[in-house]
């Protein structure tokens, strides 16, 4: 949240008592109030006094209406009230969340892969819910994903949202998390904008910075927009991030909107498959079930007129067709690996200096139910209208036929019965993803014959993989007397690096399996 403007004094609101300032932004201030009835703490977002224009008030009221439609979702902020104070200040009273937003979280350091995957599925379900209601967010970013007191994400700040068939020329945007088309098109596909922004947000949580920010470089708005439009997505360069996750993020952030995931749901399915690949618990994807035709039927004679629309948890093991992942173009690494498809499917509170407040279903998984079995010994008479003209078949023939069918069916069941060793495997147990640097798989043979030669100011290292498997890669890390550099991946068994100044030129190399596990590191120096 911007700190260029000092916050306005908190307005007097009937039924609320001011407690403290939560944050201040360009268009509004967010305060902590205590509501009298019911007694609870709430975050109150107040439109600044300088924006008492009709257009600003209209957008503020639009935000309230949009959030009210969506706030029952578990990962969208809950709005309690929208009104105007006696002195003309428009305000929203929303759920208060005391935990830091994801913006504050990533600025303290990158998040773990398992947490980012879970957050991604949860926020994607909130985004998909909004899209199915005909609402696009248009400003998804870490600062707009708050965390509730129960440690769940909550999407907030629908201030520049709109319906899918509308465009707001004076709506703002957050450049680091915006796609290329947002800079030059007033009628860009809002769904694809949100998919990009969600991908950029997850990348930020993993990298500790937004995707196209260059530490120590020129990060002006103009340079950022240029990189977003033309530069390839940089590799995360984290040994614990599997290539399948790099591919999913690159697909969500493809330059062409048509090359991205077709929906937030499709993106979530890809994240769920990665969770299964890493043996993590698969996070449920939660959207409202479509209304059944029976819901419109009149109430029966018993007065059962109330019907509950259930929250659907998408089964990652369902037969939903998986999206095709676009391959990223990383200028510093080879990405020719084919990744096997894996089965699987604070709202409001902001610290001072932050903005916000915790305030036709596609790919539906179909659950097929087995028909109820007939009670033992029950026979159903059959009519033979063609031959017997309405007469029933003799019961003896029916009994003999049924007995034969039972015997044949029983024999087939015995023949087809699976062997004990073929019983279904237990569901995956949640565990942290493999850390390729620490060598979690002690039985993986490390590289051998690591050797380095210096020529013309550059050192070339080579090694061998004594137990090569399909999908194997290598992670090499420059090593000096002062410590280690950034690890990098390669499929080749050789790498060339600049010669270190006033030090020996050395590297460490590990074998990285397709399942994310690795060997112990081997160190070598160039002569």
Annotated binding site for ATP: 45
Q: Could you write out the three-class secondary structure of 71-106?
A: CCCCCECCEEEEEECCCCCEEEEEECCCECCHHHHH
Residue whose entry in the numeric block shows the structure tokens 């073929």:
422
Say which residues have a Cβ less than 8 Å from residue 265's Cβ, sequence separation at least 6.
124, 128, 285, 287, 314, 362, 363
Q: Give the whole-angstrom CA distance, residue 158 versus residue 138.
A: 8
The conformation of residue 151, written as its DSSP 8-state character, comes to: S
Q: Which of 11, 5, 24 is nearest to 352 (CA)?
A: 24
Q: Give the whole-angstrom CA distance, residue 516 versus residue 302.
A: 58
Residue whose entry in the numeric block shows the structure tokens 């209208």:
385
Q: Could you write out the three-class secondary structure of 236-287?
A: CCCCCCCHHHHHHHHHHCCCCHHHCCCCHHHHHHHHHHHHHHCCCCCCCCEE
Phi-psi region of 111 (alpha: psi -120 to 50; beta: other; left: phi over 0): beta
Q: Give the whole-angstrom CA distance, residue 397 versus residue 404.
A: 11
Q: Which of 359, 358, 278, 263 is nearest to 314 (CA)?
A: 263
In Å, the largest CA–CA distance within the chain is: 104
Q: Which of 492, 499, 516, 519 is nearest to 508 (CA)?
A: 519
User: Which of these is catalytic: 138, 273, 350, 489?
Assistant: 138
Residue whose entry in the numeric block shows the structure tokens 């007033």:
186
Q: Give the whole-angstrom CA distance, residue 468 versus residue 499.
A: 29
Q: Give the whole-angstrom CA distance, residue 159 versus residue 79.
A: 13
Instruction: Check: CB of residue 255 under 8 Å from CB of residue 184.
Output: no
Q: Could you write out the three-class secondary structure of 433-464?
A: CCCCCCCCCCCCCCCEEEEEEEECCEEEEEEE
Phi and psi at residue 325, in whole multiples of 5°? -90, 130
Lookup: tokens for 80 = 């309690």
Q: Is 59 one of the annotated active-site residues of the chain? A: no
Q: Give the whole-angstrom CA distance, residue 157 versus residue 67.
A: 8
Which residues have a catalytic role annotated? 138
């Amino acid at each position: 949240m911007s700190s260029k403007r000092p916050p306005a004094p908190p307005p007097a609101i009937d039924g609320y008592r001011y407690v403290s300032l939560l944050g201040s932004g360009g268009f509004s201030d967010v305060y902590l109030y205590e509501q009298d009835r019911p007694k609870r703490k709430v975050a109150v977002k107040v439109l600044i006094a300088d924006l008492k224009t009709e257009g600003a008030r209209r957008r503020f009221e639009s935000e309230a209406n949009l959030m009210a439609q969506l706030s029952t979702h578990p990962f969208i902020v809950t709005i309690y009230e929208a009104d105007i104070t006696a002195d003309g200040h428009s305000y929203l009273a929303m759920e208060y969340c005391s935990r830091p937003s994801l913006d504050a979280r990533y600025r303290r350091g990158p998040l773990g892969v398992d947490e980012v995957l879970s957050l991604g599925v949860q926020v994607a379900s909130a985004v998909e819910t909004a899209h199915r209601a005909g609402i696009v967010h248009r400003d998804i970013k870490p600062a707009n994903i708050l965390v509730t007191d129960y440690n769940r994400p909550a999407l907030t700040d629908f201030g520049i949202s709109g319906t899918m068939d509308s465009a707001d020329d004076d709506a703002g945007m957050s450049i680091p998390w915006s796609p290329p088309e947002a800079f030059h098109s007033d009628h860009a596909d809002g769904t694809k904008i949100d998919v990009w922004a969600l991908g950029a947000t997850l990348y930020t949580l993993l990298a500790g910075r937004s995707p196209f920010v260059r530490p120590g470089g020129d990060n002006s708005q103009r340079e950022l927009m240029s990189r977003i439009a033309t530069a390839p997505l940089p590799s995360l360069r984290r040994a614990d991030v599997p290539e399948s996750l790099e591919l999913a993020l690159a697909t969500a952030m493809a330059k062409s909107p048509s090359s991205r995931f077709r929906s937030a749901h499709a993106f979530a399915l890809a994240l769920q498959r990665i969770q299964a690949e890493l043996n993590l618990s698969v996070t449920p994807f939660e959207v409202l079930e479509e209304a059944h035709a029976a819901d419109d039927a009149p109430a029966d004679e018993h007065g059962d007129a109330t019907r509950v629309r259930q929250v659907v948890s998408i089964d990652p093991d369902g037969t939903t067709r998986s999206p095709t992942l676009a391959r990223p173009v990383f200028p510093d690494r080879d990405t020719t690996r084919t990744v096997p498809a894996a089965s699987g499917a604070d709202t409001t509170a902001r610290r001072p200096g932050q903005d916000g407040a915790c305030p036709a279903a596609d790919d539906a998984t179909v659950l097929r139910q087995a028909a109820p079995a007939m009670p033992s010994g029950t026979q159903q008479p059959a009519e033979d209208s063609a031959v017997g003209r309405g007469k029933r078949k003799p019961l003896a023939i029916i009994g003999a036929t049924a007995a034969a069918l039972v015997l044949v069916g029983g024999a087939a069941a015995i023949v087809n019965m699976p062997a004990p060793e073929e019983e279904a495997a237990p569901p995956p147990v949640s565990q942290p993803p493999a850390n390729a640097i620490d060598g979690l798989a002690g039985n993986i043979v490390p590289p051998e014959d690591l050797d380095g030669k210096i020529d013309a100011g550059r050192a070339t290292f080579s090694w061998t993989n004594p137990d090569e498997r399909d999908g194997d890669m290598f992670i090499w890390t420059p090593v000096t007397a002062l410590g280690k550099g950034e690890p990098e991946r390669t499929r080749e068994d050789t790498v060339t690096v600049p010669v270190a100044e006033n030090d020996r030129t050395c590297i460490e190399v590990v074998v990285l399996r397709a399942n994310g596990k690795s060997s112990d590191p081997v160190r070598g120096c160039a002569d």
